């Protein structure tokens, strides 16, 4: 079955960087686009970024554009999110999720990894 396992979260100071990973199994990773979605403590879901199945296109939420970079290694079945110049408001659980195309649902989700930005 589909499994997505995120890692890389932790406590980091404002202005520092972090790299999150999402390792996939149980499906053809190279055929799927992948999203990152975050959820601040006690808040709703916020879309962060998406990368298409072959890595050809990437889109970002305005709140992270220029600071976060999404990448996908199909040979390693791994999705990454590089978080630079972190802010306190980036504190959240970060989820990776699968998708087929823009209007498609986010079919499967990982369990998330917590990023805490604090001085």
Tokens of 36: 């990152």
Radius of gyration of the chain (CA): 13
Between 66 and 105, name the residue whose CB sits nearer to other proteins: 105
Q: Which string of x and - marks every residue 35-74 that binds other proteins (by CB under 8 A)?
A: x-x------xxxx--x--------x-x-------------
**Euclidean distance between CA atoms 86 and 31, whole angstroms:** 31
Give the DSSP H/E element, type plus range, for residue 51.
strand 45-51
Q: State in angstroms the smallest separation of the CB of 93 from other proteins.
A: 9
Burial class (CB within 10 angstroms; exposed 0-12, middle 13-18, buried 19+) of 25: exposed
Please give the size of the binding site for other proteins, defined by CB under 8 A.
22
105 forms part of the interface with other proteins (CB under 8 A): yes
Show contacts with other proteins in window 14-33 (CB under 8 A).
Answer: none
Binding site for other proteins (CB under 8 A): 35, 37, 44-47, 50, 59, 61, 95, 97, 102-112
């Amino acid at each position: 079955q589909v499994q997505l396992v995120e890692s890389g979260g932790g406590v980091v100071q404002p202005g520092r960087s972090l790299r999150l990973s999402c390792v996939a199994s149980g499906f053809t990773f190279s055929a799927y686009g992948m999203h990152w979605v975050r959820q601040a403590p006690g808040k709703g879901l916020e879309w962060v970024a998406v990368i298409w199945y072959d890595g050809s296109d990437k889109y970002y939420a305005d709140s992270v554009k220029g600071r976060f970079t999404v990448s996908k290694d199909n040979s390693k079945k791994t999705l990454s999110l590089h978080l630079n110049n972190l802010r306190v408001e980036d504190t959240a659980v970060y989820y990776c999720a699968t998708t087929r195309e823009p209007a498609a649902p986010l079919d499967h989700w990982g369990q998330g990894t917590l990023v805490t930005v604090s001085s």
